[in-house]
Amino acid sequence: MKVLNLLSDKKYLSGKNLAEALSISRAAVHKQINTLKRNGYVIESSPKGYKLCAKDDVLSEQELLLAVKKPLGIFKKLLYYKKINSTQTKLKTIADAVAREGVIVCADVQTGGYGRMKREWSSSNGGLWFSMLLKPALRPDEVSKLALIISLALNRVFKQKYGVKTNIKWPNDILFKGRKASGILVDMSAEQDIVNWVVAGIGINVNNVLPKELKNISVSLGEILNKFVGRAQLLAQFLCVFDEIYAAFKKSGFKIFVKEYNDNIVFINESIKIDTGFDIIEGVNLGIDGDGKLILKTPKGLEKITAGTVVKGK
């Protein structure tokens, strides 16, 4: 909103001055002020006018655009909800009607958030919960690579932007000292060899208070840094990094990222177990290949795993 760009935390601006600056009526100014308040902005009103007091960690398209500071191919529109069942479910319901990729759905709270295998994902206030629409020119069997490059983007953000040494647990969890800081879920609509759309859901523990039962296995970025972390800034950082990675992926394929992925994967050259949903496979983790498959050295030889859950071995 244009009013937001004019408001200051240093001084009051009258409704008359705002109306004249924007060439709108004072009633229109009042309407925009009320909308900003509903979206989480703390604005003080007095006979002197309006003053921006606090943003209250607002997740809005305006804040995201201010934080990004440059056009991104991967970001076209942000749909924000204070509370929603699931950003993933919401975006999937509108994906067919959206012509281009780049729509993002985010929420302060998810009441029905879920991860891989439909596992419940705790999504309380203070975390960054969002889904983004992608329309890549890929075969359906290549879509799993998107989760891998998203995890690379998240890992880069944690390390390069926040100085936090994280690692990737194949295929798409971000860990800090063995505790989960972020997870990724990828859903798609496809027909034989054509992908109609991909919806990538991402959950990042930021400032949210983790349930007691998750404290030993999960961690938030705010807890790691021992300070408050702005979610709009974090989302902007991710989108800028992912925009670059995604462009390179579309141009050159996944193989250019294999070394970086293997340099950051956990349990490399260690014994692990993989639960494929049908079987438990044990072996030494040799990292991923150019197709994103995990290579295990087993007593029977090398096995390449397409999907599964990694469990540390003995």
| pLDDT attached to residue 40 | 66
What are the C-alpha distances in Å from 182 to residues 16, 111, 221?
46, 18, 9
Domains observed in the chain:
2-54 (1.10.10.10), 61-262 (3.30.930.10), 267-312 (2.30.30.100)
Which parts of the chain register pLDDT below 50?
none
| pLDDT attached to residue 55 | 61
Q: Count CB atoms within 10 A of the CB of residue 225.
A: 12
**Is 180 known to sit in a ligand binding site?**
yes
- Name the burial class of residue 242, with classes exposed (0-12), middle (13-18) and buried (19+) by CB atoms within 10 angstroms of its CB: buried
| pLDDT attached to residue 304 | 95
**Is 237 known to sit in a ligand binding site?**
no
| pLDDT attached to residue 34 | 85
Structure confidence by residue, pLDDT tens digits, 66-88: 778 778 888 888 999 989 999 99
| pLDDT attached to residue 174 | 97
Q: Are strands 309-312 and 179-191 parallel, antiparallel or unpaired?
A: unpaired
| pLDDT attached to residue 282 | 94
Supply the mean pLDDT for the chain: 89
